[in-house]
Amino acid sequence: MAEIEVPELLLCPISLEIMKDPVTTVTGITYDRESIEEWLQQKSNKKDCMCPVTKQPLPTDSHFLTPNHTLRRFIQAWCSANESNGVDRIPTPRSPLDNSQLHKLLTDLDAPRTFQTSLNKMHDLATQSQRNRNFMAQQRVPKAMVQFITTTFKQGKTSGVEEALRILRLLWRSTSSSSSSSSSPTGGGGGTNMKPLVGETLDFIKSLTWILQLPIIDNDLNMVNEAMQILKLTIEITDSTLLGSLNHEFFKQIVSTMTRLSKSSSSIHQNALKSALHVLIETCPLGRNRTKIVESGAVGELIELSIDKPTEKNLTELIFKLLGQLCSCAEGREEFLKHPAGIAVVSKRTLRVSAATDDRALHVLWLISKFSATNEVVREMLRVGAVSKLCMVMQADCASYLKQKATDILRFHAKAWNNSPCIQVYLLTRHPR
């Protein structure tokens, strides 16, 4: 394929790839349908939508896109002629999803014998193209999925839940985009806003929490993975007053799910683990949630996570961000110090992961040193290398406020550490008390 010169006429001006479904805009330029519809969606709430090539005004309604059948047939013929050289054949585009087809699928969703087939077909349609996702979002499919999930929760059934979660996740972004504008790339209007569906009561969150605690068969965490990612999205748009009223059982389930997810090496499940951390970070500052999270065993689990997955930058940043929040209360610091590896892990990750991790790590050490530093804790910091690491921070190429925080921690217990061979005395005498 790399040795073949593809005619420029076959390439989409946006993606620079061979067009699969060429369509022509009112400006006379031909694009691949998926690329131009994504472009239109991004510009749908702006008055100055321009053609990417000519810079002329362009309607955001995809009804103004005309299929270029002649070019499509030429592309298919060219690909077929070059198939022996590794060029993939371009299939004829499928017919656009329409109201009658989608209405039948939604009707079948209510029938015991057809709901599973209906869910499977809707999932296939949602994965096919952005156009389908936009259309499904406008036709209230997200609302149907939310109702299906909450109904199965009330009935104690699980059939079809995983597929419904997948469809909802695929449509979530399209739903938000279509509801922000009265005009969308699929030509319809009045898309569904997710907040009224899931963010104004705790009913949907309770349904997702129920899914998280279902027994795992053959270590299949796929449904848990889907539920956790949807939970993250839901938490982000739920009223803060409601989030402040979450009960202990909710946080216990999140921490328990984190433990299950941490045992998997799958990248998909790691994304769900990050979603769980986001959920706790988002809810932590509200009401008494910080104490509830600590009482759910989160501090110890975070330390274990940092030990087990030391090389994952984004994951480590999330772990340390939550640790910093939890150690801001006395109960959190108490649980942190109960773990034999707590101080050692925080010290070891400092200057090894990222600036964001350094910021939170030093914040944790500062909180421990200022508010919870018994003689035993002070000796522990020296023994596991935290004091040496603080000296390294002062000499490292890092932000000045981090150096100042390291200096403050050293000053807190200068008398206890001053005569230790592992600390450079001149660093303390530079900043005498």
Query: Which span out of 35-49, 182-196, 226-240 was modeled with the highest average pLDDT?
Result: 226-240
pLDDT band at 421 (very low <50, low <70, confident <90, very high): low
Of residues 80 and 418, more confidently modeled: 80
User: Is pLDDT at 160 greater than 60 in this prediction?
Assistant: yes
Residues 269-282: what's their mean pLDDT?
94
CATH code for residues 8-85: 3.30.40.10
Tokens 């994952």 belong to which residue? 312
pLDDT value of residue 191: 42
Residues 47-63: what's their mean pLDDT?
84
Whole-number Å distance between alpha carbons of 173 and 343: 40
Mean of the per-residue pLDDT values of the chain = 88
Whole-number Å distance between alpha carbons of 162 and 159: 8
Structure tokens at 218: 């053959």
| Domain positions in the chain | 8-85, 94-176
Whole-number Å distance between alpha carbons of 338 and 327: 12
Burial 10-28 (b: 16+ CB within 10 A, else e): bbbbbeeebbbbbbbbebe
Q: Where are the alpha helices (DSSP H) in 109-243?
A: 115-128, 130-138, 141-155, 161-179, 194-198, 203-212, 222-237, 240-243
pLDDT digits (tens, 9 = 90+) for 310-334: 668 999 999 999 999 999 999 999 9
Whole-number Å distance between alpha carbons of 259 and 223: 16
pLDDT digits (tens, 9 = 90+) for 214-258: 876 655 688 999 999 999 999 999 999 999 999 999 999 999 999
pLDDT band at 372 (very low <50, low <70, confident <90, very high): very high
What torsion, rounded to 10 degrees, do the Cα atoms 272, 338, 308, 269 define? -10
| Start-to-end CA span in the chain (Å) | 70
pLDDT value of residue 178: 52
| Cross-strand bridge partners of residue 32 | 22
pLDDT band at 184 (very low <50, low <70, confident <90, very high): very low
- What percentage of the chain has pLDDT greater than the value 70? 90
pLDDT value of residue 361: 97
| Cross-strand bridge partners of residue 31 | 23
pTM: 0.81
pLDDT value of residue 215: 77
